Each structure stands twice: as structure tokens, then as C-alpha cells.
Amino acid sequence: MPVDGLIFLLVLCTFLTYRQLRTKTIEMDLIKVAKNIFKA
């Protein structure tokens, strides 16, 4: 993997993690939806 791609991925992951930590935590709706799907 080129170094440029690696740096891009590192910056992207850092940004997404920072954004996720700054937002108010949403209830685990995805987990509830997944449980309902697999329950059926």
C-alpha cells in the first residue's frame, strides 16, 4: 500500500472517531434492529 493511501486512511479514521465521540451517543438502534431481524 502506498504511503499516501496509508496516511489518508489514518486521517479518515481519526476524523470519524473524533466526530463520533463529539456527537451525542445515539441509542443502540442498530443492535435492536439486528436482533429483531435475526429473531424472525
Q: Check whether 34 has a pLDDT greater than 70.
A: yes
Spatial separation of the C-alpha atoms in residues 31 and 39, rounded to whole Å = 12
Q: What is the mean pLDDT of residues 15-35?
A: 73
- Cα distances from 11 to residues 3, 7, 17, 34, in angstroms, run 12, 6, 10, 30
The pLDDT confidence band at residue 9, using thresholds 50, 70 and 90, is: very high
Q: How far is CA 36 from CA 1, 25, 26, 27, 39, in A?
A: 39, 21, 18, 15, 5
pTM comes to 0.49
| pLDDT surpassing 90 at residue 35 | no
- The residue extents of the domains of the chain are 3-39
